[in-house]
């Protein structure tokens, strides 16, 4: 082999080695990208799975308000007693003066309490024989604005939560649906006079014209 031929062969061998090194480097680069993309995809899928599981668990733990009863109720002021279709009332015609929101140890007039609900209050009523500790538990469980808490003779369950056009029978102060009901309907979208006053009315202690129910 002539020197010229040997030189050409050496150059070709060098080019072949370079090409082989490039191919090897490209293969390694493709593998690295596969690992990176595969790891990123796995991480995204893992995060998505965790988020999905969390949402499912939260939804499962969230108290259901499917048992809430909805009513179409009249609106307007009257000075006569009103015969309500629900016990306690879940809205309807009512006295011109609203009941001040707060906690009451005695039954309150229906017509005044209904007026408070028209302003966005949630009326939480309980059996008069409910133990004092449970009554206190109810008091601390509900917000101190736009809520009324009072005993109500004749209700069928230990506790009943009412808002304008909405009502839910509860098993007691520990029922997790109470807080969910308050969140959903206190000053809720069903409120006819959202944001109207819940103070400056009556405390229900005196004989109001046209009152009925356990407060009279």
pTM flag (> 0.75) = no
- For every residue of the chain, DSSP letters joined together read --HHHHHHHHHHHHHHHHHHHHHHHHHHHHHHHHHHHHHHHHHHHHHHHHHHHHHHHHHHHSPP-TT-EE------B-SS----SSSS--S-SB-SSPBPSEE-SS---HHHHHHHHHTT-EEEEE-TTS-HHHHHHHHHHS-SSSEEEEE-TT-SSSEEEEETTEEEEESSTT-THHHHHHHHHTT-TT-TTTT--SSSSB-S-S--TT--GGG-
Q: Name residues of the chain where pLDDT drops below 70.
A: 1-6, 10, 13-14, 16, 18-20, 34, 38-40, 42-61, 206-216
């Amino acid at each position: 082999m002539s020197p010229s031929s040997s030189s050409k062969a050496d150059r070709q061998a060098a080019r072949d080695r370079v090409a082989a090194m490039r191919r090897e480097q490209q293969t390694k680069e493709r593998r690295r990208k596969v690992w990176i993309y595969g790891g990123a995809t796995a991480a995204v899928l893992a995060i998505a799975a965790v988020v999905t599981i969390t949402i499912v668990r939260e939804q499962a733990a969230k108290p259901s308000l499917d048992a809430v009863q909805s009513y179409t109720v009249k609106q307007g002021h009257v000075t006569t007693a009103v015969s309500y279709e629900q016990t306690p009332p879940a809205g309807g015609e009512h006295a011109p003066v609203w009941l001040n929101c707060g906690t009451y140890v005695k039954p309150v007039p229906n017509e005044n309490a209904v007026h408070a609900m028209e302003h966005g209050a949630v009326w939480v009523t309980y059996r008069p024989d409910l133990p004092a500790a449970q009554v206190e538990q109810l008091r601390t469980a509900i917000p101190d604005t736009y809520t009324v808490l009072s005993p109500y003779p004749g209700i069928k369950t230990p506790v009943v939560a009412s808002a304008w056009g909405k009502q839910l029978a509860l098993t007691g102060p520990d029922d997790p649906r109470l807080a969910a009901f308050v969140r959903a309907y206190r000053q809720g979208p069903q409120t006819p006079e959202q944001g109207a006053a819940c103070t400056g009315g009556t405390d229900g202690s005196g004989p109001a014209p046209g009152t009925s129910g356990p407060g009279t």
